[in-house]
Amino acid sequence: MIVSFDSTFDVMECEQLCLAAGVPGRIMPLPGSITAGCGLCWAMPFSGDALAAFRAATEGRITPADYHQLVL
Protein backbone atom coordinates (compact mmCIF):
# COMPACT_ATOMS: atom_id res chain seq x y z
CA MET A 1 0.00 0.00 0.00
CA ILE A 2 1.25 3.48 -0.74
CA VAL A 3 0.16 6.81 0.67
CA SER A 4 0.73 9.87 -1.51
CA PHE A 5 1.23 13.45 -0.37
CA ASP A 6 0.89 16.90 -1.90
CA SER A 7 4.15 18.25 -0.48
CA THR A 8 7.66 17.00 0.18
CA PHE A 9 7.41 18.45 3.69
CA ASP A 10 4.43 16.17 4.43
CA VAL A 11 6.13 13.00 3.23
CA MET A 12 9.26 13.84 5.26
CA GLU A 13 7.13 14.50 8.34
CA CYS A 14 5.35 11.20 7.67
CA GLU A 15 8.67 9.37 7.65
CA GLN A 16 9.70 10.85 11.01
CA LEU A 17 6.33 10.10 12.63
CA CYS A 18 6.14 6.56 11.25
CA LEU A 19 9.71 5.61 12.15
CA ALA A 20 9.23 6.93 15.69
CA ALA A 21 6.01 4.89 16.04
CA GLY A 22 7.48 1.72 14.50
CA VAL A 23 5.25 1.76 11.40
CA PRO A 24 6.82 -0.51 8.76
CA GLY A 25 7.59 1.24 5.49
CA ARG A 26 9.78 3.70 3.63
CA ILE A 27 9.69 6.70 1.32
CA MET A 28 9.83 5.91 -2.39
CA PRO A 29 9.05 7.62 -5.71
CA LEU A 30 5.46 7.28 -6.85
CA PRO A 31 4.82 4.74 -9.60
CA GLY A 32 4.22 6.44 -12.97
CA SER A 33 0.52 5.62 -13.00
CA ILE A 34 -0.15 7.69 -9.85
CA THR A 35 0.22 11.45 -9.71
CA ALA A 36 0.61 13.57 -6.59
CA GLY A 37 2.01 16.98 -5.80
CA CYS A 38 5.49 15.97 -4.65
CA GLY A 39 6.06 12.69 -6.53
CA LEU A 40 6.94 10.77 -3.35
CA CYS A 41 4.97 8.37 -1.20
CA TRP A 42 5.14 6.28 1.97
CA ALA A 43 5.12 2.60 1.03
CA MET A 44 4.07 0.03 3.63
CA PRO A 45 2.80 -3.54 3.74
CA PHE A 46 -0.86 -4.06 2.87
CA SER A 47 -2.28 -5.02 6.25
CA GLY A 48 -4.87 -3.70 8.63
CA ASP A 49 -2.30 -3.46 11.41
CA ALA A 50 0.11 -1.36 9.33
CA LEU A 51 -2.68 0.95 8.20
CA ALA A 52 -3.97 1.39 11.77
CA ALA A 53 -0.44 2.13 13.01
CA PHE A 54 0.07 4.63 10.17
CA ARG A 55 -3.18 6.44 10.95
CA ALA A 56 -2.44 6.53 14.69
CA ALA A 57 1.06 7.93 14.07
CA THR A 58 -0.02 10.66 11.64
CA GLU A 59 -3.50 11.62 12.85
CA GLY A 60 -3.82 15.36 13.40
CA ARG A 61 -0.27 15.99 12.13
CA ILE A 62 -0.36 15.48 8.36
CA THR A 63 -3.05 14.81 5.77
CA PRO A 64 -2.32 12.30 2.98
CA ALA A 65 -3.45 13.15 -0.55
CA ASP A 66 -4.60 9.58 -1.23
CA TYR A 67 -4.21 5.89 -0.40
CA HIS A 68 -3.40 3.36 -3.13
CA GLN A 69 -3.22 -0.42 -3.11
CA LEU A 70 -0.61 -1.77 -5.51
CA VAL A 71 -1.02 -5.25 -6.94
CA LEU A 72 2.12 -6.82 -8.36
Specify the pLDDT at position 62. Answer: 94
Q: Which domain holds residue 7?
A: 2-68
Residues of the chain with pLDDT > 90, as a percent, come to 74
pLDDT band at 72 (very low <50, low <70, confident <90, very high): low
Considering its fold, how many domains does the chain have in total? 1
What's residue 31's pLDDT? 80
Q: Are 54 and 2 in contact (CB under 8 A)?
A: no
The DSSP result for 1-62, as a single string, is: -EEE-SSHHHHHHHHHHHHHHT---EEEEPPTT---SSSEEEE--SSHHHHHHHHHHHTTT-
Quick: pLDDT tens for 1-11. Answer: 999 999 999 99
| Inter-residue contact 14 to 3 (CB < 8 Å) | yes
| pLDDT digit string, tens, across residues 19-41 | 999 999 999 998 877 777 788 99
Q: What is the pLDDT of residue 9?
A: 93
